[in-house]
Chain A
Amino acid sequence: MTLDFASNADYLWVLLPEIVLSVWAMVVLLAGVRRPDDPPVNPEVLGWLSLVGIALAAGVNGWLYGVTSTNPAAMITVDGFRLFSNWIFLLGAALTILIAPAYVARQRLQAGEFYTLILLATVGMMFMGGTRNLILLFLALETMSIAAYVLTAYNRRDRRSAEGGLKYFLLGSFSSGFLLYGIALVWGATGSVHLPEIGATVEAGAGFTGLLLAGMALLAIGFAFKVAAVPFHMWTPDVYEGAPSPATAFMAAAVKAASFVAFVRVFMEAFPALYESWYPIMWWLAAFTMVIANVVALSQSNVKRMLAYSSVAHGGYLLVALAAANQMAMAGLLFYLLVYTVMTVGAFGVLMVVAHHGEDRLQVEDYAGFGAMRPLLAVLFTIFLLSLAGFPGTAGFMAKIYLLQGAVDSQLWTLSILLVLTTVVSYYYYLRVAWFMWMRPAPEGQVAASFWAPLPLKVALVAGAGIILYLGIFPGGLLDEAMASAEGLGLARDVFLGLRP
């Protein structure tokens, strides 16, 4: 099917996955409604219902591969980058919904609204990945962020949830202000909010350079907040620790992936000609983020907080791809985001089992004896931890190799070395949890029955571990797909190095 956007009805086709998911979110919301004196609806049922919507959206997303857009001026693209990132968001949402029911039931949260918010945030993410228009990007980002603020503060009975929600809300909207100011200045400098048009204006040297550079810097600050790059990461540990665990998994995985996808699209499509100006920013952000986040993570005794710092550290690895800005690095970034989504949600899934589907047992000592009592869950957790650390044989290792290859292709030697060294450092804090799990005896009175894992959670963990092991051994197919999806993005470094005119 070929669309030229001569009539606005074409947007209905090109936005079909988003439309399906939005409508389904309303269905889930209505299905969760009960009168106050009725018993609450079973969260598991609503979870499976939400998964049906995600499956439908995924099906439509697959159908979009047969659609081509011939109008480069359209606000929404149907390029591989969008469709690949849609898979990441949908997978992240699906895994989150699978691990959530036991937590939602035990904490007596309103299940219908919880899943609806996850689905609507996913719609926002899909718009972020698909749009080429800065204003639409802002609206999409806010759709996602506002849903994420609510998810963070969702557990009204828990002080930490409210506190995390407030911090996330204040710093999140603060950073949106920077992003919006950047959009306004870029528009003022180039007269367009359409990314390829901005790119063409910048390349021709037209436009007001001072305004343009200021706008670009503000956009970089806004995105650096959203992807939690050091020194703009202060909110991350508090928010991730305070939020309900399924919401944390969702934010650490999908929300971060969406921010990265939008970051990449804006800088690769609008500002490739200014690569010389922005690549030092990415360089320093990546270096600071990798070093500081990994060092701070070493001293964390709370596993949830440790995973928060680990998520910041992974953002640092991904920023290396932005600094490298070639097709290999972009493909590596997509591959990494997919793998990272799976392993992060998986790790949080086991964390919830240990934490009693609440926020009780989060210290690393609480993992003592877990391996002896629940060997299968402990094996799965070990796979996720090894993959997060980037151990050979897991998908996390292959993902890091591809990022490294992108960095080496771009001759970023220092960043490549930092990436390897900080990865080695990170082994300590990941393996420490595994060590407690397998090597320490359980405390007196701890029984296996207190680690209860319901069926959907088991499905998510087994599927996640399967994906990680499969991609660790056969990464080629997905990498080819990612390479094809990154086609045309990230030629900036090649031009800079003189490899391409």
Chain B
Amino acid sequence: MLVEALVLSAILFVIGTLGVLVRRNAIIMFLCIELQLNAVNLSFVAFSRYLGIEGQIYVFFVMTVAAAEAAVGLAIIISIFRHYESVNVENFNLLKW
């Protein structure tokens, strides 16, 4: 069970990583980052079966951080949308990316 869960978690993490690298829509990139964090949560839960309940508590910490990140990240995306009327990072070219 552990190996399968870890492999699934690794696959999800890679999908998230590729998503951030390939997609250019800021909201999709942000969703891919959330996917990465949740892939890690899956690892924590899988390990916790063998290493003790702490793993599931760590998941709560990670969820809290993800929520805080979402609050700030969406606010930043709204603020940039007001300037550019777009959330595509290719349009943001005042600074050389």
Contacts and interface: CB of A to CB of B under 8 A. Distances in A.
A199 B15 CA distance: 32
Given A159-B83, A167-B97, A180 B37 contact: yes
Sorting the interface of chain B by its residue count into under 10, 10 to 19, 20 to 34 or 35 or more gives 35 or more
B22 interface: no
A394 B61 CA distance: 44
A22 to B, nearest CB: 16
Contacts of A146: 68-69, 72
A394 to B, nearest CB: 31
Contact of A181 (B40, B61, B79, B94): B40
B26 A160 contact: no
Given A162-B83, A176-B69, A241-B95, 19 more contacts: A142-B68, A146-B72, A149-B72, A153-B80, A160-B95, A165-B76, A165-B80, A166-B26, A166-B80, A170-B20, A170-B26, A173-B30, A173-B33, A180-B37, A184-B40, A188-B43, A191-B51, A193-B54, A234-B97
B16 A238 contact: no
A169 B73 contact: yes
A242 interface: yes
A173 B30 CA distance: 9
B47 A187 contact: yes
B80 A180 contact: no
A163 B96 CA distance: 10
Interface in A149-186: 149-150, 153, 156, 159-160, 162-167, 169-170, 173-174, 176-177, 180-181, 184-185
Interface string B53-81: 01100100110010011001101110110
A163 B89 CA distance: 9
Nearest to B84: A159
Contacts of B83: 159, 162-163
Contact of B37 (A165, A177, A185): A177
A63 to B, nearest CB: 30
Nearest to B69: A173
B51 A135 contact: no
Contact of B13 (A149, A169, A181, A187): A181
Nearest to B6: A188
A470 to B, nearest CB: 37
